[in-house]
């Protein structure tokens, strides 16, 4: 079970890394004759029959030959030869859903990874300081941690994002969302970290270190931190899917990335018009992608007998 | 007992005041204010008048002071967006969210706990199937369940795909109105309940299988109790403790989950209202929603503690009330 989960996560990670090579089309390329086109173009060229009813059919007179390893792509079909190749259909602007899904994985995963790293760092610092210092510092930091922990994370993220200007360049949005997610996610790390450091501090090896004249900083970084590495690794697996989901939620409600940037969230937003999606179910592909990532993490976590993932950081 | 209640009340008051004040100041300090809604042709006097009407001409701290002095009299100001007192708006939205969350929580409990007892105490095909299904639903967060259910509703037309009432709801008498709401409720409630039910099932199953390995369970078997009695009468009561502990947290998850579900299924609840208020810089509505959310959270953790005390007699002190935060060793 654990292995299946790891394989799943590895596949998604490789798809994200190899997106420029794996994607048959550029993610922002709009094919005007393929609005809401169904998956196709791999055996016969697709032909638009009726633009109003979004009807397409395979042109049986024009078989398509796939071009492998050309133009720096794994497989593609040039438009002149009956392309484009639409493995998962096209969206409202005639953009290739499959290619956008791969590029979206890059944005969504990168955001979640960076946010997780910052949240771990913040949580480890604050929790470590609280556990190591004790006394008033511990009291203040622990109260703060508990307080932030009580708040429903998505509302805090929503409020923090909503008070910022709505239209920002993608890079700024990326930085802003990372920061917000880290601010929302650190307490859960800090609480466990504090408990670990506070109990480890009483052990003999720390007393020995103190007796040998080690500085506090050295004790904390060289001796206490390694004791918490396993815990931090587990927390990372819990924060990652939660942040992927948070990005999707914020982008879905229109407070995340602009539509021009393919992420799983902005793609889901394109799928918000359900009466259209009922005829174009491939637009729910990002939902499947999010499901696969969360399932992968759940399989890994459940395989080790730990409690299930709380998607609420 | 008095000490416990006092501490709980103090926590609730602090939570509500801090959360609503923070969101008031946050929304006030955000760029842009309500006068943007007046459009480009509004004169300076109109803009100044609107600012003065909503105390926006004061400093943020001054505005906060005025707001706080009114809030202790349960007057939370007027919404710019709806041009109505915030109190009524927030109360009706909170009621809608409470109905949705309560139905979802009950459904998740009724489905998740018994299934967890089964899969935690048995081995074989049934337990494996339950485990697999719940692993799948565990991986479909409310954003995805609501999208998928709305998609299914749009394709099959078994359920209305969104909203709390039909278009003609205002002309219905109350039994018909209630029925109308009842038809609209299952979809968002299910979207919210499925992941939580899966969480409950997993927690209950793990807790049950751990409990059954404890000596007292073995002793009960040795004395000749049927496996059914051991599980249902003795082990379950012990194993349900961690679930009760998570109920307090589940309220937070319910609130967060209900935001997306309300957004996707157009359920007119607190989450949607908060979102609209934030987008429109409707300062008083934002803080009103935040205060209500804080109240929900405080109530949730109280319910969690009470359940914990009910499930575990060791947590009750002489007066019969849980001493919070002191887990038995």
Inter-chain CB proximity B30 and A302 less than 8 Å: no
Q: How confident is the model at residue B319 (pLDDT cuts 50, 70, 90)?
A: very low
C-alpha dihedral sign at B164, B166, B172, B178 = negative
Whether B31 shows a pLDDT value over 70: the answer reads: yes
List the helix and strand counts (H, then E) for chain B.
14, 0
pTM of the model: 0.86
Inter-chain CB proximity A278 and B151 less than 8 Å: yes
Q: Model confidence over B223-258: pLDDT tens digits?
A: 988 888 888 888 888 888 778 777 767 777 788 888
List CB contacts of B113: < 8 A, sequence separation 6 or more.
B200, B201, B204, B240, B243
Whether B317 shows a pLDDT value over 70: the answer reads: no
Vertex A307, ends A303 and A313: CA angle to 5°?
Answer: 120
pLDDT of residue B315: 62
Show residues of chain B in contact with A159, CB under 8 Å.
Answer: 23, 26-27, 274, 278, 286, 290
Inter-chain CB proximity A271 and B293 less than 8 Å: no
- Strand ranges in B146-264 using DSSP code E only, listed in sequence order: none
List CB contacts of A256: < 8 A, sequence separation 6 or more.
A161, A173, A177, A247, A248, A250, A263, A265, A266
Q: How far apart are CA B168 and CA A196, in angstroms?
A: 59
B193 touches chain A (CB under 8 A): no
pLDDT of residue A13: 92
The lowest-confidence range among A145-149, A226-230, B211-215, B325-329 is: B325-329
Report how far apart, in Å, the C-alpha atoms of B205 and of each of A237, B53, B119 are. 22, 57, 6
Residue of chain B whose Cα is closest to the Cα of A165: B31
Inter-chain CB proximity B259 and A155 less than 8 Å: yes
Residue of chain A whose Cα is closest to the Cα of B300: A150
Min Cα–Cα distance to chain B from A149, Å: 10
Comparing B324 with B264, the larger pLDDT belongs to B264
Vertex A302, ends A111 and B142: CA angle to 5°?
Answer: 55
List CB contacts of B250: < 8 A, sequence separation 6 or more.
B105, B196, B199, B300, B304
The lowest-confidence range among A133-142, B124-133, B158-167 is: B158-167
Residue of chain B whose Cα is closest to the Cα of A153: B256
pLDDT of residue A25: 86
A298 touches chain B (CB under 8 A): yes
Min Cα–Cα distance to chain B from A117, Å: 22
Q: How confident is the model at residue B108 (pLDDT cuts 50, 70, 90)?
A: very high
Nearest beta carbon to residue A298 from set B30, B138, B290: B138
pLDDT of residue B162: 76
Inter-chain CB proximity B147 and A284 less than 8 Å: yes
User: Which residues 100-139 of B are in CB contact (within 8 Å) with A?
Assistant: 135-136, 138-139
Q: Model confidence over B43-70: pLDDT tens digits?
A: 888 888 888 888 888 888 888 888 888 8
Q: Are A117 and A180 in contact (CB under 8 A)?
A: no
Show residues of chain B in contact with A277, CB under 8 Å.
Answer: 151, 154
Q: Model confidence over B273-292: pLDDT tens digits?
A: 999 888 888 888 999 999 99
This complex has an ipTM of 0.83
DSSP B150-174: HHHHHHH-SS-SS-SS-TTGGGS-H
Mapping DSSP onto H, E and C, the string for A121-181 reads: HHHHHHHHHHHHHCHHHHHHHHHHHHHHHHCCHHHHHHHHHHCCCCCCCHHHHHHHHHHHH
Whether B322 shows a pLDDT value over 60: the answer reads: no
Q: Are A99 and A21 in contact (CB under 8 A)?
A: no
A275 touches chain B (CB under 8 A): yes
The lowest-confidence range among A151-160, B9-18, B157-166 is: B157-166
Q: How confident is the model at residue B321 (pLDDT cuts 50, 70, 90)?
A: very low
Q: Are A48 and A33 in contact (CB under 8 A)?
A: yes
Nearest beta carbon to residue A308 from set B147, B199, B260: B199
C-alpha dihedral sign at A299, A87, A271, A100 = positive
Min Cα–Cα distance to chain B from A185, Å: 14
Is omega for the bond preceding B245 within 30 degrees of 0, making it cis? no
Closest CA to A150 of B288, B292, B19: B19
pLDDT of residue B42: 80
User: Which residues 249-308 of B are in CB contact (within 8 Å) with A?
Assistant: 249, 252-253, 255-257, 259-260, 263-264, 271, 274-275, 278-279, 286, 290, 293, 297, 301
A271 touches chain B (CB under 8 A): yes
Inter-chain CB proximity A295 and B18 less than 8 Å: no
Inter-chain CB proximity B297 and A287 less than 8 Å: no
Across the A:B interface, residue pairs with CB atoms under 8 Å apart total 128
List CB contacts of A289: < 8 A, sequence separation 6 or more.
A12, A101, A104, A105, A264
Task: Let me know if B3 is exposed, middle or buried by CB neighbors in 10 A (0-12, 13-18, 19+).
Answer: exposed
A220 touches chain B (CB under 8 A): no
Task: Let me know if B168 is exposed, middle or buried by CB neighbors in 10 A (0-12, 13-18, 19+).
Answer: exposed
Report how far apart, in Å, the C-alpha atoms of B150 and of each of A118, A192, A281, B108, B254 are. 35, 38, 12, 19, 19
Whether B113 shows a pLDDT value over 70: the answer reads: yes
From first to last of its 313 residues, chain A has per-residue pLDDT tens of 788 888 999 999 999 998 888 888 888 888 888 888 888 878 788 888 888 888 888 888 887 777 788 777 888 887 777 778 888 888 888 888 899 999 999 999 999 999 999 999 999 999 988 988 888 998 899 888 888 887 888 888 888 888 888 888 889 999 999 999 999 989 989 988 888 888 888 888 888 888 888 888 888 888 888 888 888 888 888 888 889 999 999 998 888 888 888 999 999 888 887 777 778 888 889 999 999 998 888 888 876 655 554 544 3
Show residues of chain B in contact with A163, CB under 8 Å.
Answer: 26-27, 29-31, 278
* Best mutation target, A146, A154, A191, to test chain B (most B CBs within 10 A): A154
């Amino acid at each position: 079970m654990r292995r299946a989960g790891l394989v799943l996560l590895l596949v998604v990670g490789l798809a994200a890394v190899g997106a420029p090579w794996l994607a048959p089309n550029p993610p922002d390329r709009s094919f005007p004759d393929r609005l809401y086109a169904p998956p196709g173009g791999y055996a016969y060229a697709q032909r638009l029959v009726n633009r109003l009813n979004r009807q397409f059919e395979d042109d049986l007179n024009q078989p398509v030959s796939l071009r492998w390893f050309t133009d720096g792509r794994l497989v593609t079909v040039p438009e002149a030869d009956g392309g484009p190749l639409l493995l998962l259909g096209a969206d409202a602007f005639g953009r290739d859903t499959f290619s956008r899904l791969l590029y979206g994985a890059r944005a969504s995963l990168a955001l979640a990874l960076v946010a997780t790293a910052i949240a771990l760092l913040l949580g480890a610092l604050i929790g470590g300081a609280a556990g190591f210092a004790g006394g008033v510092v511990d009291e203040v930091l622990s109260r703060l941690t508990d307080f932030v922990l009580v708040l429903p994370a998505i509302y805090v993220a929503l409020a923090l994002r909503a008070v910022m200007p709505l239209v920002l360049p993608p890079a700024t949005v990326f930085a802003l969302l990372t920061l917000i997610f880290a601010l929302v996610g650190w307490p859960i790390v800090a609480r466990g970290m504090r408990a670990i450091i506070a109990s480890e501090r009483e052990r003999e090896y720390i007393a020995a270190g103190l007796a040998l004249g080690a500085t506090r900083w050295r004790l904390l970084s060289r001796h206490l931190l390694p004791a918490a590495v396993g815990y931090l690794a587990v927390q990372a697996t819990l924060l990652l899917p939660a942040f992927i989901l948070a990005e999707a939620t914020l982008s879905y409600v229109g407070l995340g990335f602009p539509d021009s940037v393919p992420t799983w969230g902005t793609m889901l937003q394109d799928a918000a018009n359900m009466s259209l999606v009922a005829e174009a179910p491939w637009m729910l592909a990002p939902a499947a992608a999010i499901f696969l990532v969360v399932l992968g993490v759940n399989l890994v976590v459940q395989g080790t007998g730990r409690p299930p993932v709380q998607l609420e950081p | 007992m008095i000490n416990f209640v006092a501490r709980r009340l103090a926590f609730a008051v602090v939570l509500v005041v801090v959360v609503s004040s923070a969101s008031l100041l946050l929304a006030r300090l955000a760029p842009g204010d309500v006068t943007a809604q007046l459009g480009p042709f509004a004169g300076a006097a109109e803009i100044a008048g609107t600012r003065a009407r909503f105390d926006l001409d004061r400093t943020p701290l001054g505005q906060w002071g005025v707001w706080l002095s009114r809030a202790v009299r349960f007057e939370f100001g007027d919404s710019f967006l709806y041009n109505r007192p915030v109190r009524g708006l927030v109360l009706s939205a909170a009621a809608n969210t409470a109905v949705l969350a309560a139905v979802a929580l009950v459904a998740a409990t009724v489905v998740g706990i018994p299934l967890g007892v089964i899969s935690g105490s048995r081995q074989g095909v049934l337990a494996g199937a339950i485990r697999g299904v719940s692993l799948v639903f565990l991986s479909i967060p409310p954003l995805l369940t609501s999208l998928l259910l709305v998609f299914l509703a749009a394709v099959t037309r078994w359920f209305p795909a969104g909203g709390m009432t039909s278009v003609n709801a205002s002309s219905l008498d109350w039994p018909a109105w209630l029925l109308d709401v009842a038809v609209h409720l299952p979809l968002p409630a299910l979207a919210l309940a499925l992941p939580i039910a899966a969480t409950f099932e997993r927690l209950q199953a793990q807790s049950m299988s751990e409990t059954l390995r404890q000596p007292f369970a073995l002793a009960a078997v040795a004395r000749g109790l049927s496996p059914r009695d051991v599980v249902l009468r003795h082990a379950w009561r012990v194993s349900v403790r961690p679930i009760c502990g998570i109920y307090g947290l589940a309220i937070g998850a319910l609130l967060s989950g209900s935001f997306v579900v309300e957004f996707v299924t157009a359920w007119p609840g607190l989450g949607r209202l908060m979102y609209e208020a934030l987008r429109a810089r409707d300062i008083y509505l934002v803080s009103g929603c935040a205060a209500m959310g804080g109240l929900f959270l405080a109530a949730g953790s109280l319910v969690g503690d009470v359940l914990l005390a009910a499930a575990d007699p060791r947590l009750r002190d002489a007066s019969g009330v849980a001493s919070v935060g002191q887990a038995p060793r």
